[in-house]
């Protein structure tokens, strides 16, 4: 069986695009937040999440994922308040940043453990305080890394990106599909 170590509706929707049955089991972990290399945190947190669920389901294939926004050498997670969300958007406006999603796939019974990160560059147009407030009225930002959801009104942010859109949303599918296919978890395309 395939398990997504998350209750995120966005990740659930993305994984369903692979047309393979799966279950969602939330990971009970305390995410890492510090360290010398902030860009490595999403991959390390994905491993924690997948490892936590795989310990309970050792014969199943478990996917863990974690997304962060890297800007100015800092990894932005989910804002703790509306004010923090507005501050994050103000920091991101008018410049480029990277969205990094770490992914881990673990099957303990088969001694399989693989993890990686995918990066996508995102650029926002210059925004006024009023435009940021308007965006936040349209999109609930407290449960989103970097205080935005690229799939919800990207035009309000003047958002452009280079790389995989699904990575920004929270689960890069290209490499994940390749790994799951190589392991025989999902059938090859067209097969």
Q: Residue 64 pLDDT > 90, yes or no?
A: yes
CA distances (Å), origin 104, targets 44, 101, 110, 138, 173: 9, 10, 15, 32, 12
Residue of 171 and 73 predicted with greater confidence = 171
**How does pLDDT run across 115-173, given as a tens digit for each residue?**
999 999 999 999 999 999 999 999 999 999 999 999 999 999 999 999 999 999 999 99
Of the residues 28, 37, 66, 143, only one is catalytic, namely 66
Q: Is 66 a catalytic residue?
A: yes
| Domain map (residue ranges) of the chain | 2-182
pLDDT tier at 187 (50, 70, 90 boundaries)?
confident
CATH number for the region 2-182 comes to: 3.90.950.10
Which pLDDT score, from 0 to 100, does residue 75 have? Answer: 92
Would you state the pLDDT for residue 78? 92
- Is a pLDDT exceeding 90 seen at residue 35? no
Predicted local confidence at residue 40, as pLDDT: 95
- Cα distances from 147 to residues 5, 142, 168, in angstroms, run 22, 6, 12
pTM for the full predicted model: 0.93
């Amino acid at each position: 069986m395939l398990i997504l170590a998350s209750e995120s509706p966005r990740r659930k929707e993305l994984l369903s695009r692979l047309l393979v049955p799966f279950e969602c089991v939330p990971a009970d972990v305390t995410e890492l937040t510090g360290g010398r290399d902030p860009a490595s945190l999403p991959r390390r947190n994905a491993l924690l999440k997948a490892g936590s669920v795989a310990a309970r389901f050792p014969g199943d294939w478990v996917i863990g994922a974690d997304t962060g926004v890297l800007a100015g050498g800092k990894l932005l997670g989910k804002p703790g308040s509306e004010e923090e969300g507005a501050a994050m958007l103000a920091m991101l406006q008018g410049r480029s940043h990277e969205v990094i999603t770490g992914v881990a796939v673990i099957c303990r019974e088969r001694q399989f453990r693989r993890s990686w990160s995918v990066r996508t560059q995102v650029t926002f147009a210059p925004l006024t305080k009023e435009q940021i407030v308007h965006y936040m009225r349209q999109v609930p930002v407290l449960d989103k890394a970097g205080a935005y959801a690229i799939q919800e009104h990207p035009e309000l942010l003047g958002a452009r990106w280079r790389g995989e859109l699904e990575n920004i949303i929270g689960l890069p599918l290209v490499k994940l599909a390749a790994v799951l296919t190589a392991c025989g978890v999902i059938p090859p395309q067209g097969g």
